[in-house]
Each structure stands twice: as C-alpha cells, then as structure tokens.
A and B are shown apart, each in its own frame.
Chain A
Amino acid sequence: MAAKARLPHWADLVARFKGRKVAVLGDMAVDCYVETRPDRLSREAPVMVLRYERRRYAAGCAANTVFNLRALGAQAVPVGILGKDEAGDALVEMFRAEGIPLRGIVRMGSTIVKVRVVSGDVSRPKQQVLRVDVEPEGGYGAAALASLRGRAVGLRGHEAVIVSDYGYGAATPEYAALLRATNPDARLSVDSRDRLLDYKEADLLTPNEAEAAALLRRRVESDAEAELAAREMRRRAGAKAVLLTRGNRGMVLFDGKAHALPIAGPSEIVDPTGAGDTVVAVATLARIAGADHLAAARLANFAAGVTVMKTGAACVTPAELLEAAARG
C-alpha cells in the first residue's frame, strides 16, 4: 500500500525535471577509453602488451554532471574551460549533439583528459589496467580564467547553480558568487574535492567520505562519525543540508536532523566512476522541482544505485530512475 502510494509521487517529481535551467560551473574533462585486448608479454620489459582495438571519448568531471542533467530532461548550461585540441573538439561535439548550449564554454590551452586503458576479451571481462591523467601544465592560465569570469557574469535565468570543483581551478567560490549574483533565485549545490567549506550558504553540499575526512582532518568511517561529519560541515559552511555519500555504506543526509539512507540496489558495484556527478545532478533537480532535502536525497540514492552498475561515468534516464525508485 505504502509503496504503491509513493510511485506517482516520484513520477510527478521526475516529470518536473524537464526544461529546468541549471548552470554547471566547474572542471570539464574528457574521459578517453582506450579499449584493448590482452596479447602477450613484452620482450623488452616485464610488462603486458595489449592490442589496441578502439578509442572512445566520454564526458568526465563537471561535463559528466552536465550530461546527467541533460539525460533527465533538464536544460544544462556548462560553464568551464576546454582546450583547443582533439579532446576538446570531441566534447564540444558531444555537447552539440545533445543540444547543450556552449555560451559558458571558453576554448583555450589544453583539455583535461583522463585516459583509461581497459582490457579484456571473450574469456576475460573488461577491466581497467592503467589510468593516465593529462592535465594542463601550470593550470588553465590567467587568460582562460579571466575569460571564464566574463562568461560567468553574463549567464542569467538559472534556477540552480551546481559547482563541480575537481580542483583544477575553473570553479572558485568567487565565480560561484558571481553566478549567484546574476541568478539571485538559484539554489546552489556544491561538489568540491578540496574546498567544500569555502562555498558558503549552499542549498546542498555533496561530499564523499574521503573528502569529508580530508577536510575535517579526522576519520569518517562509522555511522556516528559520518553523521557528526555531515553536521559539522553543514554548520561550518552555513549550508542548508549536507548529503554525505559513503560508497556501499549508503548515504547520510543532515538537514538539521540526521537521516541514514542505506544503499539502493546490489552492493557489488561495477564502476563507481562519476557516481558523485549523478548524485548532485539528481538531488539538485529534485530540489528545484519542489522536493524537500530528504526526498531529493532518496531519489539521488536511487540514481547512484543505477549508475554504479554501469561502466564508466554514466547517466541515468528518467525511466531507469523511476524503475529503481519503484524497487525501493
């Protein structure tokens, strides 16, 4: 009875995601998958020789949040920096194909690329073998950042601003404040690797356990430690709520009260890449569609359960989300 009663509630909420205008300020990256199959050992050195099959580009970091919003029907506007290179071109092409506007994108320097060499064949399931992070030397550079500031000032009419700060420098508390000044009614959600507490008065913070432990300089493992950490971060950042993600231990929401959310779906996950991007996208859309923090967190939890069962940084469709919600 109770489960059935909940269904129309989730469906109504997700239906209201459509067309929501959300700016995503942050580090746009390109995930490059080099797909191979194992071949033999090298004669030159004690290493594997893998046989190249294909290369595939996908959206990474903040760009993954953008595509998650898009997959749920929202109108996402990326605000960030992409290089003038092959990887940057590939991501711009992906944005275009999805009808994602490019007015917040600065093209300068080189793109952040995370190469994942993946290997497998008919008898061996694909697994990651090596990751190579290609980052712009010396950061984005002053010219690109100044240009980005100009873009941020010009963007109006957004209902939410999501900060997706992977520590490369495109997202800063200053730029976030600029975006909010021109979008005064926008709710702010923050996902930040290194400086979550510097973004003040957000509607929602979405740290994971490792980030919380680094920020608070203490262990965040047990349920009690997680709850206490969420409470303290909320107070110190002046946020309305903190949603702390805990891997296969589920999530903790603190919105003045603590709520434990056990994981949704199986606990043996396929790939956690990008799950945090999905969480912040779903929770933010739920908030601007009228849900309270607890409902938004529950829906985000369902979404996380779907995305970790997919390889790579993945998106969740409204249908998949509702199906997961129906399973509970």
Chain B
Amino acid sequence: MSSDLLRLIGEMPTPTVLVAGDMILDRYVSGQVDRLSPEAPIQVLRHEQTIENPGGMAAVARNLARLGARVRLCGVVGQDADGEALRAALEREEIETGAVVAEAGRATTVKTRYVAAGHHARQQILRVDRETVAPPAPPTQDRLLAGLRSLLGDTDILVLSDYGKGVLHAAFCRELIQVARAQGVPVIVDPKGQDFSKYAGAAAITPNRAEAALASGLPVTRYEEAQAAAARLLDRLDLQTVFVTLDRDGIFVLERNGDAAAIHTDPREVFDVTGAGDNVLAVLAYALGGGMSALHAAMLANIAGGIAVERFGAVTIGWEEIEARVAGGPGAESKLVPADSLARILRGLRGAGKRIVFTNGCFDVLHPGHVDLLARARGFGDLLVVGINDDESVRRLKGEHRPVNPLAARAAVLGGLAAVDYVVAFPEDTPAGIIERVRPDVLVKGEDWRDKGVVGREFVESCGGRVELVPLLAGHSTSGILARMKDRGSST
C-alpha cells in the first residue's frame, strides 16, 4: 500500500486550484511575559515579534501553495492596512491575488493571537478577533464572480472554504457552484453552519464530526453513524463524495458508488489543533485536483492532519513530510521508497539538520558482515539510506543465477534492520546516479574498497560530505554462503 501511494504521489500532475471564501489575516504577537503591570493586575507582554499569515480560506491557499499547487484566490478584504498585510503575506507565498477584491467600508477580518514565548513553552494567552460578518456588496459580488469566471478555464478544482463571515452566503454560493459545474470544474467545500443546502451540486464536502451531525440531524460518534450521516448528505446534496473528518478517529469517506472507508489516525501526541482542518482540506483538494481517487486523497489528507496537530500554530506541510510518513508509517510494508519520493523526503530532513548516511550493495543473502557494516554506517549520522541494485543490474553484475532473492524480498529483509531508515533501488550498474539524488553527508563502503575508486566520492566531497571505509567482519560473504549451500545440496 505505502509504495503504491508513494508512486501515485510521484506521478500526480501539479493541479491549478482556485480557492474562494472568507479570507482572514492571522496575526501572532509574541514576546516575553516577565512582569506584572504597575497599573492593573495583568501581565505585561514584552513584544518581540509579530508574524502575519494568511488565515481562513487563505490558510488553505497557503497550504496548497506549500504543496506545490498553482493557487489563485477569490475573496474580499477591506481597503485597510490589514488588507494590505494579508495581500503581502499571500504574495510572499506566490499565491495569485488578482481576483481578490478590496471593498471600501469593509474591515479586513483579523484574528490576533497574543503568545507568551519565554523560557517556558509557547503559550497563547489571549485572542482578539476583528470580524466583518456581512455579505459583500452587490458590485463586489459581481467583481468576484467575473474574476472567478475568468479563472475557471484552466482550473482543476475549485475549493470553497466557508468560515461563516458572509462571502459564501446562500445565493452566491449556489451561483459559484453552478458556474463551476457548467465549466466542468469539480468543487470541494469545507462547509459551515447547519443548512448545507447551499452546497448542493458540489463534488465533495468535508464536514467535521459536529458539522456532519448538525447538518444530517444524525449522531456521529461511531464509524457506522458517520456512514449514515454521510449517506444522507450525499443523497440530499447530490454529491460525489463526503469526507467526514473525525479528529482523533481519522477520516470517513463515502462515495456515490457506495464505496466507504474509515481511515484511522495513528494515535500521536496532540499539541495544537489550530489549522489542522486547513491542512486536511488542502491535501484533499490537491489530490483530487491531481486526479487521485477519493480514498487515496483521504489517506494522504489524514496523514497531513496528523502531522499538523503535532506542531504549534497553523503550520504548512509539504509532500516530503507526507511521503516520509507514508514511507515510515506503521502501515508501511517495507522501507523501500521510490527515488523521487526519497529525494523529497531527504530534502525535508536535511533542512531539519539531519545528517544523511548512504551505502549500497546487492544485499542478496544477508549475513553478519552486512549487519555489522550497516550498524557502523548508521553511527556516522542521523539516518541511513541503503541503495540496492535492482534485479536486472544484480544479474548483470553477479551472473545468471543471481539474485537469489528478488528486489522486494531483499528490501524487506533490509527494512527489518533497525539501522536502516530507507531503502532505494537503482537500475544502473553503479550507484553514481542514486548518490547524486541522495546527496549523502557520509558515503560508507567496506574497507575492501580502499584501493579501488569509490564511486561517488568526488560528488559527495564536492558537496562538503565525506567517505568512510569500515573494516569488514572476517569470514562472511554471500558467495561463501551460496557455495556452502551448493556443497550441502550436492552431498545429500
């Protein structure tokens, strides 16, 4: 399953996504709290940093941009400094804001979170919301609709992200869905409120537990209940797919053809649920826009949501992190990862300061010499990537009767070793190509390579890495084992 998912991620084309709905500016004011006010019995926050991020549907857009999608926005801000700040924050993320309308007399919606970030853990101490809850004026709506129409032509998916601030009021929401449908663009909706009728005709909706219960009038505590609620929504609203997000319980997916699946979450520590829903929606939209099935999209979105709740604040998550979870997750049947995925995963890990060690070989019949070499190799850094020749290249190198074990079996055995983090196959006779993709900090070979040229040495050293040669355990070799087996076979 995991290798299928990784392959699908690798093959997915980059979608163009249009996001419409309620835009919010998320402002984080943080600093030290080290004294009380002399004027009132309250804390004094000594300001250190103000960070302004896109929030609301703009946070979904930011997540989509971080995933690599081409993202355009259709929404409303005020003609004020906060609106300018929001636009600037979006442009920093390379999100297109051409269809964002600045409306006179409207205040940009801002959520300011005051955060104590001292010697203790970061902690929110207060939130102040400035909201405009009102539908845009008719001329603004006309401009929004015109902007949307002009962009739909080359859009793969339209995301409607409703935060109940008025942009997606019933009549306008219906119109947007109709216009998109007429152009054959699927619509995915993150709904709000009790009455979902305005979302009728969308391709998919993503209510959470409470929203699904409220809109369907059915309880949603267990999976079976989620299914009944999803079925009712699917029927009533003429949808293709319903994704019910169930916080700790993962995601429940129901499709028009009756296919249903409960996707469970790995129980991990939850630090902060801020924005996790936006991460889930972004991955769903990207994957559906990229042509993935609803089931696969939900599996990936579930992983993204799981990563998000482990971080503080509204975070963005890239494919490399999702792929790393897919490759290393409890559902992974082996540590064998496609080279493309691996390159992305390692880029993320390198960015986080991890030292990457690489070694390679055929690893056809594993023996104590291999285990010792891999353990030593792992000791040179934070994670070990093992390159293995694919079956064809082993045959070319070792002869017609090799490999004894096919690639999947060799990868599975290697993956069973604690020292090994990722296994990657390469089809060439030498590892030169895969080494350039892995870009290891340390390239490890056995000491028998001392007088031979180590392939990849120049590349690794030119990147600031180094080569380590480790002593080999005496008396162990695959050819020796195979010879003994042959002897015994012929003597019986």
Task: Using CB atoms and an 8 Å cutoff, list the residues of chain A in contact with chain B.
Answer: 34, 36, 39, 42-45, 47-52, 86, 117, 127-135, 210, 271-273
Contact = CB atoms under 8 A, between A and B. Distances in A.
B114 A130 contact: yes
Nearest to B45: A132
B40 A117 contact: no
A52 B38 CA distance: 24
A39 B31 contact: no
Given A47-B127, A129-B126, A272 B47 contact: no
7 contacts: A42-B124, A51-B130, A52-B112, A128-B42, A131-B40, A132-B47, A132-B114
A44 B47 contact: no
A39 B128 CA distance: 9
Contact of B129 (A52, A127, A210): A52
Given A42-B127, A135-B47, A129 B31 contact: no
Q: Size range of the interface on B? A: 20 to 34
Nearest to B40: A128
B333 interface: no
A36 B46 contact: no
Contacts of A134: 47
B39 A50 contact: no
A132 B31 contact: yes
B82 to A, nearest CB: 11
Contact of A50 (B29, B37, B129, B272): B129
Given A44-B272, A128-B37, A131-B37, A49 B42 contact: no
Contacts of A39: 129
Contacts of B47: 132-135
A48 B126 contact: yes
A50 to B, nearest CB: 5
Contacts of A44: 124, 127, 272-274
Interface string B138-170: 000000000000000000000000000000000
Of the candidates A39, A52, A128, A272, the one having the most CB atoms from chain B within 10 angstroms of its own CB is: A52
B159 to A, nearest CB: 22
B46 A50 contact: no
Nearest to A45: B124
Interface string B307-345: 000000000000000000000000000000000000000
B482 interface: no
B125 A47 contact: yes
Given A47-B125, A271-B39, A272-B38, 16 more contacts: A45-B272, A47-B124, A47-B127, A49-B127, A49-B129, A50-B127, A51-B131, A52-B110, A52-B112, A117-B114, A130-B45, A131-B42, A131-B43, A132-B47, A133-B46, A133-B47
